[in-house]
Amino acid sequence: MAEDLRSISVFPHFKNITAVTTLTEIQLPTVSRMITVGSDAAALYVCTVGGSDGGAVPADRAFVPQSQYFSVNTGTGDANSHSSIYVATQSGTGDTSIILEQNDG
């Protein structure tokens, strides 16, 4: 089930979800410029294209080892930024931390 974080307006913002082996969509606020994801319980896959909520992990993805974080700049402006990212575990389930930030440069 998608996690709708679009209404977040105070940063940094911390959100914890339970990720599974199918993709969970994380809907991002337009003012967030940096997102960080990680899990101390499981290795993760993260993608921005080719995914759908509840879908299979696509070939174009990033791998995040267990107990590490992955940060990505989401871009600026509507044409240069993603409105969602997708997260899944490599196997099993895992508590997953999501950190949203608003970097002013």
CATH class of 3-101: mainly beta
Say what the pTM is.
0.91
Residue 20: both structure tokens together: 């599974």
User: 104 falls in which pLDDT band (50, 70, 90)?
Assistant: low
* Residue-wise pLDDT tens digits, 24-80: 999 999 888 899 999 999 999 999 999 999 999 999 999 999 999 999 888 766 667
